[in-house]
Amino acid sequence: MTISDLRKTDNFFLLAGPCVIEGEEMALRIADRIVKITDKLGIPYVFKGSYRKANRSRLDSFTGIGDEKALKVLRKVRETFDIPIVTDIHSAGEAAMAAEYVDVLQIPAFLCRQTDLLVAAAHTGKIVNIKKGQFLSPGAMRFAADKVVEAGNDQVMLTERGTTFGYQDLIVDYRGIPEMQTLGFPVILDVTHSLQQPNQTAGVTGGMPQLIETVAKAGIAVGVDGLFMETHEDPSVAKSDGANMLKLDLLEGLLTKLVRIRQVL
């Protein structure tokens, strides 16, 4: 798969799925629901699921069901529904391993300056989606993208996911979307992570899921190329990031509204 495949229509594309793979049946159910919705609305779709969560506030936080087991679940989703898959990688050594199972390698925001990680991802030949660090300006993302391109891979996407605002909040500066687009790469808005509220007191991240629709509408209005959303059948029992995920039952209604906005533009 190439970026051109995601931009084959005038619609935005979507990266969506659970925060982390909790099991095969759960992943297949969520993928099935989203595939049906995106096919109906004509939205190019990439299933998202982390095979492991490396960035946790507390040692006892859930990190995954095991790397190989989770990656095999991702491959099962890919083969069952014939859709591309995106997952996060956290170290250079993970790049080649994950690339055997997925189509897009995602660089977490906190790691977007890690040269060895970016170069290793580039060398797989897969699409590399780099999340903007919460501490970086939009323009500074050109240096992260340049590392991938100079390593021989021009299949790069950039993702806005909010900027640190004080100690326990994030804010989306929508000016950054067109600014990053001038770099020549598709820009994605990570709707749900932009609504995180990092908690340094309890060690459990909070969020504002009631604003998911607001943030998504604004992103489409300013012309973002793609959207990233984490969704779960019941966020209240999700094993990671439940506080800012979209309840799966709400996805079709939201995407229908967003497609209408896109059509107007």
- How confident is the model over 203-259, as pLDDT tens digits? 667 788 899 999 999 999 999 999 999 999 999 888 877 788 999 999 999 999 999
Q: Give the burial class of 249: count Cβ atoms within 10 A of its Cβ; 0-12 exposed, 13-18 middle, 19 or more buried.
A: exposed
Mean pLDDT confidence for 76-89: 98
- Give the tens place of pLDDT for each residue, 88-125: 999 999 999 999 999 999 999 999 999 999 999 999 99
Q: Which CATH architecture has domain 3-264?
A: Alpha-Beta Barrel (3.20)
CB-based burial, 13-22: b 16+ in 10 Å, e otherwise: bbbbbbbbbb
What are the structural domain ranges in the chain?
3-264
pLDDT of 199 > 90? The answer is no
Exposure on the CB side of residue 216, measured as CA atoms within 13 A: 32
Which bin fits 82, alpha (ψ -120 to 50), beta or left (φ > 0)? left
CA 119, chain centre distance (Å): 20
- The DSSP bridge partners found for residue 14 are 45, 227
pLDDT of 77 > 60? The answer is yes
What's the pTM value of the predicted model, to 2 decimals? 0.94
For residue 118, what are its two tokens?
A: 């970016």
pLDDT of 60 > 80? The answer is no
